[in-house]
Amino acid sequence: MKATLFKEVGYSLAKLIEDIDMGEIGLPDIQRPFVWKPAKVRDLFDSMYKGFPVGYLLFWENGLADGHRQIGIDSKQKVPRLLIVDGQQRLTIGVSER
8-state DSSP, 5: -
- pLDDT-derived band at 93 (thresholds 50, 70, 90) equals low
- pLDDT-derived band at 8 (thresholds 50, 70, 90) equals confident
Gap between the terminal Cα atoms of the chain: 46
Sign of the C-alpha dihedral computed for residues 70, 72, 74 and 80 taken in this order: negative
Contact 54, 48 (CB under 8 A): yes
- pLDDT-derived band at 1 (thresholds 50, 70, 90) equals low
The residue ranges of every structural domain in the chain are 25-91
Contact 73, 96 (CB under 8 A): yes
Strands lying side by side in the sheet with 82-86? 58-61, 82-86, 25-28, 68-69
39-43, 64-68, 83-87: least confident range = 64-68
